[in-house]
Amino acid sequence: MAIRQPDLEQEAFPAKGSPLAARVRLEADPEEGWRLYCSGSWLAERLDAAVATLKQVAGRLRDTRVVWDFSAVSQMDSAGMMLHLHYRRRLEQQGCRQEFLGRSQEQQELEALLLRYLPGERGRRRSIAQRLLAPLAALGRTVLQGLRDWRAFLAFLGENAVVLAQSLLHPLSLRFDAIAKNIEDAGVRALPIITLTSFLIGVVIAYQGAVQLQKFGANIFIVDMIGISVTRELAPLITAIVVAGRTGSSYTAQLGVMKITEEIDAMKVMGFDPQRFLVLPRILALMIALPLMIFFADLVGIFGGMVVAHLHLNLSWSEFIHRLQNVVAVKHFWIGIFKGPFFAWLIAVVGCFRGLQVSRDTESIGYYTTVSVVNSIFLVIACDALFSVVFTELGI
Amino acid sequence: MSSETAAPTEVIRVREVVTRFGDNLVHDRVSLSVRQGEIYGLMGGSGSGKSTLLREMILLLRPQSGSIRVLGKELDRIGRAEAAWLRRQWGVLFQSGALYSSLTVAENVAMKLREYTRLPAAVIDEIVRMKIRMVGLPDHAADLYPAELSGGMVKRASLARALAMDPRLLFLDEPTSGLDPIGAEAFDRLILELRDMLGLTVVMVTHDLDSIWTIVDRFAVLGDHRVIAEGTLEEVIHQPHSIIRQFFWGARGRLRSAHGQ
Ligand SMILES: Nc1ncnc2c1ncn2[C@@H]1O[C@H](COP(=O)(O)OP(=O)(O)O)[C@@H](O)[C@H]1O
Ligand SMILES: [Mg+2]
């Protein structure tokens, strides 16, 4: 009993208003009450006009006789039948007596089939009190989620510390190949973007400074300014932010996908601790790579400043380097490098932690990657501020 | 039911299709045809190009040469509007289910209805719940996420999604693989029942001998890059080709073939 077998040659694209679109017309019935003339093909994608009419007229029909006339309906699929059943139920609730005319054998079979599977009324809507309390419930859930995050993070750090301690006791158990590969991915491959950003930062700082210094005829101090600001603050911060966006996010995405594809579970059951095999190599690799990258960013940033000093302030290359050597204390450089491992640790730990938090749906990868980058950039900046205060108080 | 009519309409016609990926020749002039209302099986060993052929029928892949005609449309000369129309005429059940993991089962099923129709939300909701029941899922499955479903439930949910718009054509890629024998049998029966109820034409990739025995009307066996046999079970099973002999008379097939039916 095949219910719907429209012939293949039938027109595939009914134009708007073509006779193929499903339609409903409300008229007074010759005997009593109202008549709903249905026509056209009641297939899912052609129901728009019928839906619009039914929406309009259904509210008006109360406590009366309604005759559904289907004699002009050419085809009907389950969406069409469900639309009819929906409004039939609605009219019934409004006290209408309904009759049906001109239904084909196929339509009756379809109706019987659908009635067999038709779900009952859905549970009632949420009450007003529940809806008013919803924001409060959401707030509570968010707070709770935040607390759980913290607890999970602390547990993660604990595990991480244990694995690190074990590895330090048995240094040969470290995954050197994984570390090397991660240094290449996170460090070497990031050099082009680091070059570009730190060069531009050097140029911008020098340019802004040059204008001010020229007013006082203090051109030469551009060297102090660049030398200190780039090495001590800007190169570490900019590098860390670029790395957080580039490597932190990729750590989260990599581990997240491994979580979804159950690779992490596979490692666990084979006795490979993901902390030792995945997390620790990434953390160590970044802690090694970031200071080196900061050193590189120092060079490029200062070079950018030198170019501007040369072009704009007519300071020769040799003068610049001479003053850089004599005046700028090397401690600024070391402070900048010293921050590197701390920033790297924050970025890698947050990236890996968020990656392992990914649940089994694909959307959560996107969510946690975003969260990971936002978290690590914030933490890097907060950490930098802390260092600033501490070093200043210490008089360094 | 299916092929009693005098001149059965060809719903899909594949002619001389050649497919290669780089140097890997997958199909070498493959031809077959699927008739209206039948359950058509695509059989063959792993890697024989069953899924690839299926992907070519549903406009996911283009063969190097040859022609495929689906519902009267020639796929290699098809325009955008016609392709869009075709895509509404079929439902596809992918090998892994391919449910959208960030949506609930109900949202997965409702997706096409929401996009392509302007039905009121309440009607869509009713249709969705009806389809979910129709494929044999419990009502509460509607609000679960794919990650919370078992393998068999994923297949059923994915079938409900494929059926959402009452397709004429249903493509199934190994619908019963990964299911236990009881679940697989139930799923086979479901497909048969739905075909009879909804008047579907079904193309299913399978290497499940039980499905071939119980529900498939006609099938093609792919091997050596071509179709080595096409027809009903009786027509195919006694052919002398070595692949067919292995399939039906190998250790696993023999039991079925000896005691079958
Ligand atoms: N996207 C692709 N790129 C390259 N080769 C492919 C691709 N898809 C399938 N193949 C190759 O085509 C052949 C047939 O694959 P497939 O159709 O998936 O086989 P099966 O019959 O098991 O479903 C295999 O050799 C496979 O390696
Ligand atoms: Mg396959």
B24 touches ligand 1 (CB under 6 Å): yes
Better-scored residue on pLDDT, A122 or B201: B201
B47 touches ligand 1 (CB under 6 Å): yes
Using the beta-carbon criterion (under 8 Å), do B126 and A85 form an inter-chain contact?
yes
DSSP result, A339-384 = HHHHHHHHHHHHHHHHHHH--SSTHHHHHHHHHHHHHHHHHHHHHH
Rounded CA-CA distance A70/A53 in Å is 15
C-beta separation of A380 from A237 below 8 A: yes
Give the best residue of A107, A117, A125 to mutate against chain B (max B CB count within 10 A).
Answer: A117
Q: C-alpha distances in angstroms, B159 versus A169, A194, A227, B152, B167?
A: 55, 50, 66, 11, 11
- Tell me: pLDDT of A355 over 80: yes
CA of A360 vs chain B CAs: smallest distance (Å): 6
Q: At a CB cut-off of 8 Å and minimum separation 6, what does B111 contact?
A: B100, B103, B161, B164
Percent of chain B exceeding pLDDT 90 equals 26
Superfamily for the B37-48+89-260 domain: P-loop containing nucleotide triphosphate hydrolases (3.40.50.300)
Rounded CA-CA distance A285/A287 in Å is 5
Nearest to A248 by CA among A384, A370, A387: A370
Q: At a CB cut-off of 8 Å and minimum separation 6, what does B153 contact?
A: B137, B141
Rounded CA-CA distance A356/B60 in Å is 34
C-beta separation of A347 from A243 below 8 A: yes
SS3 B8: coil
Burial of B188 (0-12, 13-18, 19+ CB in 10 A): buried
pLDDT, mean over chain B: 85
Atom of ligand 1 nearest to the CA of B19: 12
Rounded mean pLDDT, B186-204: 85
SS3 B142: helix
Residue B31 phi/psi, 5° resolution? -135, 140
Residue A76 phi/psi, 5° resolution? -150, 135
Domain ranges within chain A, ordered by starting residue: 23-117, 149-394
Percent of chain A exceeding pLDDT 90 equals 47
Using the beta-carbon criterion (under 8 Å), do A47 and B117 form an inter-chain contact?
yes
Residue A5: pLDDT band (50, 70, 90) is very low
C-beta separation of B43 from B222 below 8 A: yes
Atom of ligand 1 nearest to the CA of B173: 23
ipTM value for the complex: 0.76
Domain ranges within chain B, ordered by starting residue: 37-48+89-260
- Tell me: pLDDT of A3 over 80: no
Rounded mean pLDDT, B87-115: 87
Q: C-alpha distances in angstroms, A348 versus A43, B17, B117, B143?
A: 55, 51, 47, 36
In terms of average pLDDT, the best of A99-113, A333-347, B142-156, B203-217 is: A333-347
Q: At a CB cut-off of 8 Å and minimum separation 6, what does B122 contact?
A: A86
State the Rg of chain B over Cα: 18
Task: Give me the pLDDT at residue B259, please.
Answer: 54
Report which bound ligand comes closest to the CA of B173: 2
Rounded CA-CA distance B39/B195 in Å is 8
Nearest to B205 by CA among B30, B37, B55: B55
DSSP result, B159-193 = HHHHTTT--SEEEEESTTTTS-HHHHHHHHHHHHH
Rounded CA-CA distance B108/B158 in Å is 8
Rounded CA-CA distance B171/B169 in Å is 7
Task: Give me the pLDDT at residue A109, please.
Answer: 83
Instruction: Give the nearest partner residue to A118 out of B72, B101, B130, using CB atoms.
Output: B130
pLDDT in tens, A243-299: 999 999 999 999 999 988 888 888 887 778 889 889 999 999 999 999 999 999 999
The sign of the torsion formed by the CA atoms of A74, A78, A82, A83 equals negative
Give the best residue of B71, B113, B119 to mutate against chain A (max A CB count within 10 A).
Answer: B119
Rounded CA-CA distance A280/A101 in Å is 74
Tokens of A87: 């409004």
Rounded mean pLDDT, B50-77: 90
Residue A15: pLDDT band (50, 70, 90) is very low
In terms of average pLDDT, the best of A143-157, B114-128, B212-226 is: A143-157
Rounded mean pLDDT, B111-136: 88
CATH no. of A23-117: 3.30.750.24
pLDDT in tens, A51-108: 888 888 888 888 888 888 888 888 888 888 889 999 988 888 888 888 888 888 888 8
Rounded CA-CA distance A199/A225 in Å is 15
Task: Give me the pLDDT at residue B3, please.
Answer: 40
Rounded CA-CA distance B2/B11 in Å is 13
Residue B255: pLDDT band (50, 70, 90) is low
Using the beta-carbon criterion (under 8 Å), do A8 and B71 form an inter-chain contact?
yes
Contacts of B1 in chain A (CB under 8 A): 2
Nearest to A368 by CA among A380, A379, A357: A357
How would you write B65-116 as a 3-class SS string? EEEEEECCEEHHHCCHHHHHHHHHHEEEECCCCCCCCCCCHHHHHHHHHHHH
Instruction: Give the nearest partner residue to B166 out of A1, A77, A362, using CB atoms.
Output: A77
Indicate the angle between helix axes A317-327 and A280-313, nearest 10 degrees. Answer: 130
Q: Which of residues 117-176 of A touch B (CB under 8 A)?
A: 117-119, 122
Give every strand in the sheet of B65-70, ordered side by side.
B24-35, B10-21, B65-70, B73-74
- Tell me: pLDDT of A121 over 70: no
Provide the CA B92 distance to its chain's centre, in angstroms: 7
B101 touches ligand 1 (CB under 6 Å): no
H helices within chain A, ranges in order?
48-58, 78-93, 105-117, 128-169, 176-186, 191-215, 222-228, 235-243, 249-260, 263-269, 274, 280-313, 317-327, 330-357, 363-393
Q: What is the pTM of this model?
A: 0.71
Task: Give me the pLDDT at residue A153, please.
Answer: 93
Task: Give me the pLDDT at residue B251, please.
Answer: 64
Q: At a CB cut-off of 8 Å and minimum separation 6, what does A131 contact?
A: none
B155 touches ligand 1 (CB under 6 Å): no
Least confident of A33-47, B11-25, B138-152, B243-257: B243-257
Identify any residues that bridge with A41 across adjacent strands, giving them in sequence order.
A75
Tokens of A359: 């649940």
B95 C-alpha to ligand 2 centroid (Å) = 7
Q: At a CB cut-off of 8 Å and minimum separation 6, what does A38 contact?
A: A22, A23, A24, A50, A68, A69, A70, A72, A73, A84
